A and B are shown apart, each in its own frame.
Chain A
């Protein structure tokens, strides 16, 4: 990852070094943080992973999904089945959970990508409802009541402290992989084509960009990572139930909030958004409905007055860029219709 960033701009090497240092410090967290802090950090890393993937879809690929909870939930359930019921080791079960999410994502994409953007968004939500209802009827995984992760799975990761550290490292690693994948994808020819198509689908089609294939590809990547993130998030909780696993507020509304506030269409945005979201949650969650009203209002105000979110403001003001990916493909002058 470092090598790629170091090629990217005038400050590339410095930023790569700083990034590596931050990741190292974070990796050392178990040495000085208690278990509650680690758990919070793991949760943040999980949310960040989800946000990076949602941003990749909505901010770069123009795929607006409000049904991402289906992949969080399916990833979580797949993990509980594979690791908990079938006894597959955790490290193998995690990618399997992601693969299961992506496997389900393929038919969904084939059916729903025919829909106009806004209709696609609501249809993904319907799919999530279907998944929740079906799981709630599946008694092998506990039906509506859900299931707990068998203790031997938890034990296989060591004692409480070891387990917290291990899960944190997994979450951190997944987060780095997600950011790296998003970054590499956006700098690849396919990623650039994807942005061209988000900005102007017709023009992109005219340039011979296969819109649907690229969209499906990025959708599968995003759901794979989202599924693993779901597995890790429920591995922390040790319990899963349909209402928790397919919660639209938890896994989609919060994530959208994070991306919008942080900066839709900037790879740096979700990072900022996660920090702000957890800070707000810590400060305001005690205020009940007021807290959520404030979140809604903040998201609306951001869309109206600073569509690039917090990072967009910073980027405009200071010109900073940690992950330089061209946000807009500028067609040469002669190309204008």
Chain B
């Protein structure tokens, strides 16, 4: 049984349908990459796992418990955390205060403030600065650290690399082994397919709200992914 499984998930924004019967699953220690062009529904899928965003129907189970319909704060307390698209740091809080907001989920575990500062020493140095006064990469570190502070079983990362320089992205991805070593599962949404394939243990490709391709990166040739992306061309 998967740690998290999504079955026949549909999502609507008003009259607009964003997901059409999506299936998805992930186990502890895995990295699932969700790829797809803009507007495919990647963010919608992730937010649905957290109980936020669009109106959803179908089934989502987390550790055997149905969670669809639970409010986000309850899901966070069960152990799902997200690094949102665009980071969404709290503007009037300092770096340290932003990190500590992760304690709200009430989950004890290996990720403490000290541990996060070990992972991102620069944040320790700037702990009293307003979070929004940091560089983009540092802000992304705060967003990751804040999510880690909830001690999640699954960490959802929505476009970590957006707006960051390749070097900074490299730094952030270099931390994945340390995070995975704690037995966490990771779901990552990436525009950069090559990078996603490098770190992922499974890949799900979404197109216009539907899964068009799913499997282990080794089984999926770049051609098949390109074909899925450009669909009709095949």
Direct chain A–B contact by Cβ atoms under 8 Å: yes
User: A residues within 8 A CB of B13?
Assistant: 336
- The complex places the Cα of A157 from the Cα of B16 at a distance, in Å, of 61
Write the B1-29 contact mask toward A (1 if CB under 8 angstroms, else 0).
Answer: 00000000000010010000000000000
Write the A296-333 contact mask toward B (1 if CB under 8 angstroms, else 0).
Answer: 00000000000000000000000000000000000001
Q: Rank and list the top 3 A-B pairs by shortest CB-CB distance, nearest first.
A: A333-B16, A336-B16, A336-B13
- The complex places the Cα of A66 from the Cα of B203 at a distance, in Å, of 57
Q: Which residues of A contact B (CB under 8 A)?
A: 333, 336
Interface residues on B, range: under 10
A218 vs chain B, min Cβ distance (A)? 27
B187 vs chain A, min Cβ distance (A)? 24
- The complex places the Cα of A165 from the Cα of B13 at a distance, in Å, of 55
A335 vs chain B, min Cβ distance (A)? 11
- The complex places the Cα of A111 from the Cα of B16 at a distance, in Å, of 40
User: A residues within 8 A CB of B16?
Assistant: 333, 336
3 A-B pairs, CB-CB below 8 angstroms?
A: A333-B16, A336-B13, A336-B16
- Closest partner residue, chain B, to A333 (CB atom): B16
- The complex places the Cα of A336 from the Cα of B16 at a distance, in Å, of 10
- The complex places the Cα of A333 from the Cα of B15 at a distance, in Å, of 9
B42 vs chain A, min Cβ distance (A)? 16
B61 vs chain A, min Cβ distance (A)? 30
User: B residues within 8 A CB of A333?
Assistant: 16
A192 vs chain B, min Cβ distance (A)? 19
- The complex places the Cα of A336 from the Cα of B41 at a distance, in Å, of 14
- The complex places the Cα of A333 from the Cα of B18 at a distance, in Å, of 12
- The complex places the Cα of A123 from the Cα of B16 at a distance, in Å, of 39
- The complex places the Cα of A73 from the Cα of B13 at a distance, in Å, of 46
A219 vs chain B, min Cβ distance (A)? 30
B96 vs chain A, min Cβ distance (A)? 31
- The complex places the Cα of A333 from the Cα of B208 at a distance, in Å, of 14
